[in-house]
């Protein structure tokens, strides 16, 4: 069954007839009623014709208080949360790679997959690709960090001149967040 939206002419005639029947009301009230009826008519027409904006995605985000609060956190806090979650995600994958390679996985195995034994190389590549996808999801989508923001903190962790200070700040933030004791 197909439901057709009424034409603009029929909405206009309904609105005009309602406004004409209200002509005995005081002038100010009559104007307010006319505006309300016009707005209601235009709104109904917009909905029926599919011209109304879809606010459901925006509304859903407003009510997701944990995600909203998280996005309001400072960049460093979001980095610490993301790095912590990445580490929790990485550990079992690292164990799986060690089992596959008999403990002979090169350091930074995902960048050095070609150094892994040929018989398990494809499976190690799959694990690395899966972790890369999880990393993007965690860093960019869940914790709303840009690549530059995340990498800036990572560079500070690698740089010997800032590493100790960064480790201390990260540990303090992890404790503050209740993620470690």
State pLDDT tens for residues 39-96: 444 444 444 444 544 444 544 444 454 555 556 899 999 999 999 999 999 999 999 9
* Position 15 in a domain: yes
Percent of the chain with pLDDT over 70: 61
Do residues 125 and 172 both lie within one domain? Answer: yes
pLDDT tens string 140-159: 999 999 999 999 999 999 99
Do residues 154 and 103 both lie within one domain? Answer: yes
Do residues 138 and 106 both lie within one domain? Answer: yes
The C-alpha atoms of residue 77 and residue 68 are separated, in whole angstroms, by 14
Do residues 133 and 169 both lie within one domain? Answer: yes
Instruction: Look at the chain and report how many structural domains it folds into.
Output: 2
What is the domain extent for residue 83? 65-176
**164: its two tokens:** 């100790």
Residue 134 has pLDDT above 90, yes or no: yes
* Position 22 in a domain: yes
What is the CB neighbour count within 10 angstroms for residue 116? Answer: 21
Do residues 46 and 72 both lie within one domain? Answer: no
Instruction: Please give the backbone phi and psi of residue 153, each rounded to the nearest 5 degrees, phi first.
Output: -70, -40
């Amino acid at each position: 069954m197909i439901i057709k939206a009424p034409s603009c002419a029929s909405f206009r005639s309904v609105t005009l007839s309602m406004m004409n029947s209200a002509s005995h009301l005081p002038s100010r009230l009559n104007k307010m009623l006319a505006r309300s009826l016009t707005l209601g008519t235009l709104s109904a027409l917009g909905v029926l014709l599919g011209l109304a904006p879809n606010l459901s995605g925006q509304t859903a985000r407003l009510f997701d208080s944990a995600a909203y609060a998280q996005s309001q956190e400072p960049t460093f806090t979001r980095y610490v949360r993301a790095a912590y979650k990445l580490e929790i995600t990485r550990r079992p994958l690292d164990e799986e790679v060690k089992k596959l390679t008999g403990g002979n996985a090169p350091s930074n195995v995902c960048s050095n997959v070609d150094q892994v034994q040929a018989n398990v190389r494809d499976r190690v590549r799959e694990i690395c690709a899966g972790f890369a996808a999880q990393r993007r999801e965690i860093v960019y989508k869940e914790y709303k960090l840009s690549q530059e923001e995340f990498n800036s903190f990572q560079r500070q962790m690698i740089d010997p001149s800032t590493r100790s200070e960064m480790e201390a700040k990260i540990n303090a933030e992890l404790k503050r967040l209740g993620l470690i004791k």
